[in-house]
A and B are shown apart, each in its own frame.
Chain A
C-alpha cells in the first residue's frame, strides 16, 4: 500500500468478510460500519449511536468483538470480519437463534445482530458462562425493549444446549 496517499484519495482494501475475500475502494477513514452497509450492502450491521456506546454495530474482527462505527476501514486491511449475515455458517447460530426465539430475546430486533455477535464472542471464550459473565459480556450492547432478562435466558439456554452436544 502507498504509505502516504493524499487527502481525498481512496485506497484499495482487501479483507475477508464472512469467509469470502472482498476488495473495496474506500477512503481510509471511512468507518468499517459504512463500508459494510454501503459498499458491501450488509445491512444487518446497525448504527445506533455512532460513538461506541450501544453495540448495535458489533462485528467480529479477527475473532474480536468490536464496534464497527469506531474502526477506520484501513485498520481492517487483511482482517477476517464476521457480520450477522455470516453467522448462518457458524455452529453457534442455530442454538442461539432458537433460544432467542423461545425466550423472547428479540423484540424490535435492532440490537439483535449486535447481541448475537456479543453472545458468540462470549460463548467462544466462555462456553459455560455464569450469569455474571453473561451480564458483563453483553453490557456493551444496549437493548431498550427487553430489559435484557430474556436475552440472558436465551444466551444461557444456547450455552447449555451447546455444551450438551
Chain B
C-alpha cells in the first residue's frame, strides 16, 4: 500500500511545471485523482481491498466550465485560474475597424475528445536496490517518463531506465499520461520490492486519462467590401483541467494556428488556458490547432456570406503568399501556392458541379446534400524555440557484421517511424533497407532524440538520422576503409575492419537551430515553425431530415507536405487522421457530470466503425521545400485539422444552419431545426447556432 508519504522523491509528475502530484496528499482537484495505491500478487484480490477502503471528502466549491473558471469566483489554480496566456500583436488592430466594410463576429466551440487508442495505458515497473527503477510500458516519450521518475523516486539519471514496448496506438494520449501510471507502478515496486504491473481497463483509461482540450474561440474581423481581411481580434480559450500538464504548449500551437493560412495585415490574438476540476486535458494529435482552425475555417464561411462572395472566393482573396508574413510575423519563404492547391482540390472533388446539382436537388426530398471546404496549415516540429531547448541527439551505429542500427528515443506506435527512419538511414548509407535496424527505445541504449510528438519525427529526427548515418560513412571513408562508390558487401567489410582496429563505430548528430531563425518567447513573434504543411480538404456531406444525422459521403484530402517519404504510410496517416477528425466532428462526445466523464465505455463513447466512414481520397502535391530529410515535412497531425470545419461548412451548405460547435450530433441538428427552443438545456450546454 502506497500513499503520498511513501514517495521517496518529490510528489509530482514532473513535466513543464511540477504542479500535479503523483498522489494527492491533502486535496483532490478532480474526481479521478489518485490518492492511494494498492498492489497484490493476485490482482483479483484488489477489488476486495478497494472495497475495504473508505475515503471521506470535505467538499469544496467546484469549477466545471471555462466560464466559471474565468469568473474567478472560486480560485482553484494559481491566483487567477489561468495556466498560461499569450498575446500576439501584429500591426495596429485599432486602426482597422473604421475602414471596414463589414465587421464579422463569431464564437465557436469544440468539445473534449478521447484518443481511444485500442490498447489501454499499461506499464510494468521493477525495482532493484543496485540498478534502481526500470519501467517497460506503452508510451510515446521514454525520456518524459525518465525525467518524471527521477524526480518522483529521488534517483539519479543512471538509476532510472525506461523502455518503450510495442505500443497499441497513442495519438498524444501516451505523451504525458504514462509518467503518471509509470510513477504509480514504480512507487509500488519500490515499496513491495517486487515487479508491479498496472494495466488500465477501458473504463479506467477513459475516465482518468487525458483528452483533447475543449475550446472556445471568438473572432471579430474587419473585412473590406470585397471580402479581404483587414485585421481582427481572436480570443482563444482552452480548458486545461485541474493541472497545468501540457496546456501551455497546446495553447501555443492553437494560438499560432488561429489565423489559418491567411494573410492578416494586423491581428491581436489573446489566448488563455484555464483550470477546471476535471482530469487534466492533454496531448492529442493536432495539439490545439484543430480547435482554433475549426473556428477560423467556420468563420471564413461566415465572412464569405457577409461579404456576399463564395467560400472559394473568400479564401482565394486572403491566402498567404510567399513573402508575406503570418500572424507571428514569420515570413513565408516556402514556394507555396494555396490558390493552386484550392483549385486542384475543387477539381478532384468535382466541387462546382456537385454544389450546383445539390442546390437543385435539395429543393425536395429528405436528404439534403452540401459541399464544404477547409484550407489550413500545420507547423511541423516544436513551436518557436522548442526545438532549440530539446537539443535532440540521435545516434547511428554499425556492427562488425555491417549491420546498422538507428539509435533514437522516437517511438513507433503505428505512424511508421521505424520504417521511415530506417529508410532514411539506408538511403544515406546507400544500403538496402533490410540492412538497417532500429534499436528499441530504451533510455540505457538510445540518446534523447526528443519526444515522439508534434509531427517532428520524420522532419527533425529524420534529418538528424540522415546526418548521423552520413557520419558513419564519412568515418569509414576518412580512415580509407571505404571508397566513393561502394557495394553493401564492401560496406560490411569496412565496418568489420574499422571495429577490429578502432573499436565501436558510432556516429551522433545533435540538433542545430538554423542560424536565421528568430523567435521571441515574450512577444510571441517570429519564426514559429521551421516548416508548414499546407492542405485543402473538401467534404461532401448529407443531412438526413428523418434522423437528423450527418453523413460524410465523399472526402478529398489534398496536401503539400514536402517530399513524401513512404507513400503507403503517408496515405495511412492521412486516412487515419481524417477518420479521427470525422469522429471529432460528428460522433465523439464526452458527456461530463461533475467533472467526470460518464460515458467512459466504447459502447457509449462513439468512435466511427468501418460502416461510418466515406471513401477518403488522399492526394499529395509537392511544391518544393528545403526542410527535412530529403525535403519531408511533418504529416501526422495535419489531417486532424481540416475535416471538422469542412464537414460543418458542408452541413451549412446543405441545410443553411450555421453551426458553431462540435461534436455536431443528430440531436443538435434536430434542435436547430425546431421552431421552439428545448424545454430545458443540457447541463454543460455551450453550443448553439446563430
Contacts and interface: CB of A to CB of B under 8 A. Distances in A.
Are chains A and B touching directly in their complex (CB below 8 angstroms)? yes
A144 B169 contact: yes
A135 interface: yes
B118 A147 contact: no
A123 to B, nearest CB: 15
A141 B578 CA distance: 18
Interface in B155-199: 166-171
Interface stretch (B53-61, B411-419, B468-476): B411-419
A104 B571 contact: yes
Given A48-B119, A107-B414, A145 B572 contact: yes
A32 interface: no
Contacts of B120: 48
Nearest to B611: A139
Given A53-B602, A53-B603, A107-B415, A146 B572 contact: yes
Q: Which of A46, A146, A151 has most B Cβ within 10 Å?
A: A146
Interface in A45-81: 46, 48-51, 53-54, 56
A103 B568 contact: yes
Contacts of A152: 610
Interface in A102-130: 102-104, 107-111
B541 to A, nearest CB: 17
B66 to A, nearest CB: 27
7 contacts: A51-B602, A53-B603, A108-B118, A108-B167, A144-B115, A147-B576, A148-B613
Given A48-B202, A109-B414, A148-B613, 14 more contacts: A46-B119, A107-B416, A108-B117, A110-B118, A135-B611, A138-B610, A139-B610, A140-B609, A143-B610, A144-B169, A147-B579, A149-B575, A149-B613, A149-B616
B15 interface: no
Interface residues on B, range: 35 or more
Given A147-B613, A149-B613, A49 B202 contact: yes
A106 to B, nearest CB: 8
B118 A56 contact: yes
A16 interface: no
Interface of B: 115-120, 166-171, 201-202, 413-416, 568-569, 571-572, 575-580, 601-603, 607, 609-611, 613, 615-616
Interface in A18-57: 46, 48-51, 53-54, 56
Contacts of B166: 109
B609 A142 contact: yes
Contacts of A140: 609
A151 B611 CA distance: 13
A135 B571 CA distance: 19
Given A144-B118, A145-B576, A108 B202 contact: no
A150 interface: yes
A56 B615 CA distance: 24
Contacts of A56: 118
A111 B414 CA distance: 11
Contact of A104 (B115, B169, B572, B611): B572
Contacts of A136: 611
A108 B569 contact: no
Nearest to B575: A147
Question: Helix, strand, loop or mixed for chain A's interface?
Answer: loop
A108 B115 CA distance: 14
A144 B607 contact: yes
B415 A49 contact: no
A151 B169 CA distance: 16
B118 A54 contact: yes
B284 to A, nearest CB: 12
A111 B168 CA distance: 8
A105 to B, nearest CB: 9
B601 A51 contact: yes
A50 B168 CA distance: 16
A54 B169 contact: no
Contact of A108 (B414, B575, B610, B615): B414
Nearest to A110: B168
Contacts of B168: 46, 108-110
Contact of A148 (B118, B202, B603, B610): B610
B616 to A, nearest CB: 6
A33 B392 CA distance: 42
Q: Which of B118, B416, B602, B609 has most A Cβ within 10 Å?
A: B118
A145 B416 CA distance: 11
Nearest to A114: B118
A51 B416 CA distance: 30
Contacts of A147: 575-580, 613, 616
A103 B568 CA distance: 7
A110 B171 CA distance: 14
